[in-house]
Amino acid sequence: MAKKKQTESNKPKVNNPNVMGLRAAVVEQPITDTLEVNYMPYAMSVIVSRAIPEIDGFKPSHRKLLYTMYKMGLLTGARTKSANIVGQTMRLNPHGDAAIYDTMVRLSRGYGALLTPFVDSKGNFGKAYSRDMAWAAPRYTEAKLTTICNELFRDIDGDTVDFVDNYDNTMKEPALLPTTFPNILVSANSGIAVGMASQFCGFNLKEVCDTTVAYLKNPDCDLFETLLAPDFPTGGELIVDTNALREIYETGRGSVRVRAKYRYVKSENLIEIYEIPYSTTVEAILDKVAELIKAGKAKEIADMRDETDLSGLKLTIDLKRGVDPDKLMARLYKQTTLEDSFPCNFNVLIAGMPRVLGVRAILEEWTAWRTESVRRRIFYILGKRKEKLHLLKGLKRILLDIDKAIRIIRETEVEAEVIPNLMIGFGIDQIQAEYVAEIKLRNINKEYILKRVAETADLEEEIEDLEDILSSPRRVKKIIVDELNAVSKKYGEPRKTTLVYAHEIETAVEEEEAPEYGVHIFLSKEGYFKKITPQSLRMSGEQKFKEGDSLRQSFETTSNAEIMFFTDQAQVYKTRLGEFDDTKASVLGDYLPGKLKMDSGENVIYAVLPGDYSGSLLFFFENGKAARVELKAYQTTSNRRKLTGAYSDKSPLAAMLRIDEETELAVYSTEPRCLVFHTALLAPKATRSAQGVGVMTLKPKWHLERVEPLEATPIQNKSRYRVRSLPAAGALLRQEDSEEQQMEIL
């Protein structure tokens, strides 16, 4: 108590009554109570009512959408605007139009995410295999239900499933859909709940139906005989791993490996990829291959592009000469998502409880649920037949004396007493009497009544048969089997994902990566290029150049760095230093126009090591203009590629510089004049071939000659030449600021 009082006395006093009242309202609550009272209801709502599919294979969002379309008459009618469907579905689904339309897209034939789509779409619904191919807005697209939805709603009005109130208690919706086939195994499904997730791969409809039939006939049947492996709407090749499949079938957890399909077009020396794994996208594949090319790990590839069109998916890889396409693809399978794994987690709601089940356990639960649905349907039909038989038995009573029935009705003075009088006169109950009283006058003849009474024998026979079905599990099972066989025959399609076995697969031989090491590179004015290691450079003497040639540029970098060579024909050639052999200072080196297969008469004028493509390039032209282009404008996905339009060709190029940070430059003309300006005055251009802006104002007979960083010049009086705005004429170059004067002093 003393400790408690001491603690309370240490608390700061608050004189504000409003704050004191607020503190008084705060009640301490253990974190476990908070989780139980506040968080658990939310968690259970997400698990039970949103993220985990139920035994019919649908989440609530799927079910609400499909049932709305069914009630709109879209099972047999014409298509309607998707916006109309979305609006109607909001009566059942309160999560908003965007979420509803996303659900419709995933169920559609156009999107291609399901083996058996339930929405017959018209318009742009995007593609499951593309990350960037967005679907059109709902006001532009149309939809209806596909024919297989007949199997989802068969006898839904025959008390086959329970109906519950919607979120505002204004209408009823089905708790489950009475699917006549195990849709839970046919439709791929995924969801993330709170503390758990679900991931179903799709199986072929025909295989699932055949497997269910085999299971109904023998619960201990071998599932592998009929259910070969998962099947995916994007096709591809599934690598059969019997142990992995057995684990999935038994436990509901595991993964399968799927890889892309390709064909080699020999006449054009290219590879066409036309089917990819279900779990990846074309953009993810292109990005990964681009990374390999930039890192020099896919030197066999000249170019890769997406040629997907209305005829379907197609990724094209242009190969260099002498490349083995099968060996290249074996490597790409290993290094990219062209081969990917699909994880399985068969978490399904059974009676409101999430359970991870294997295939056999799912079939057991589905057949038990379907058996109950069929029994409820039979019981509903039986009740209707008994009601009709009861009415016909009452009609049979009046057959003995039709005139008496007419006389009773005619002699009854009060309408309310017609039914009681008929009940007394013929010994029938109220329901039968009401049925007799409602018969039209034109039907009160022996022929009509005899025809109705003749149905009695057929009804009694049908009722006896229905009661026998209800009491015979074998006959109920036969009904389910017949329905499964009918679905398999009517809607079954061949597998889209083919099966391959491990011994059929060519494994990629792991190539040893060349170690990265430091090098010195040298570029001469006539286009000779040398890559020399530091050790070799220390041991050798002077650099050897062709007579009349001299050094243009030199760098220190690593042995596989990317390099760009700009030429006098406004083109740039990109490659990696790994393409060049290490050499010595005593040799001329590689002649770049020949090595890079340049155009006739083309010469190298500048080399750039782009690195991470930060910084800018400055191009100065003889007409006094300059263009600033960010290095990112030259970033491509190819290892070696010629880019045209590297800079403007409207005026001859006088100088070219790379800057990584703002600095001051000295610009010289042939007059001779000089001006000094800060590079911040030059704004970056959007295109590589921009003509630039005026920097130096020139008289007609003079032109811009050269550009140098200010700190590298011999200029003494820098303020004389410095300008604050562009363009400017600059100042006449004094002798003491010229390079010639500096040479004389030396």
Query: Which residues form the catalytic set?
Result: 140
CA pair distance 257, 237, nearest whole angstrom? 8
Among 318, 336, 293, smallest CA distance to 560 is for 293
The letter for the amino acid at 156 is: I
CA pair distance 6, 9, nearest whole angstrom? 5
Spell out where 559-699 has E strands: 562-567, 571-576, 590-591, 604-608, 616-621, 625-630, 641-644, 653-659, 664-669, 673-678, 684-685, 693-694
Q: Helix, strand, or coil here: 254? A: strand
CA pair distance 299, 192, nearest whole angstrom? 41
* Residues sharing a CB contact under 8 Å with residue 449, sequence separation 6 or more, in sequence order: 395, 398, 399, 402, 443
Among 598, 605, 601, smallest CA distance to 573 is for 598
Element (H, E) at 191: strand 189-192
CA pair distance 15, 160, nearest whole angstrom? 67
Residue 142 in tokens: 């149309």
CA pair distance 492, 511, nearest whole angstrom? 45
Residue 36 in tokens: 């139980």
The letter for the amino acid at 1 is: M
Among 164, 174, 105, smallest CA distance to 137 is for 105
Specify whether the CB–CB gap between 665 and 658 falls below 8 A: no
Among 226, 135, 233, 249, smallest CA distance to 189 is for 233
Give how far the C-alpha of residue 661 lies from the chain's centroid of Cα atoms, to the nearest Å: 40
Q: Helix, strand, or coil here: 462? A: helix
CA pair distance 146, 383, nearest whole angstrom? 32
The letter for the amino acid at 370 is: R
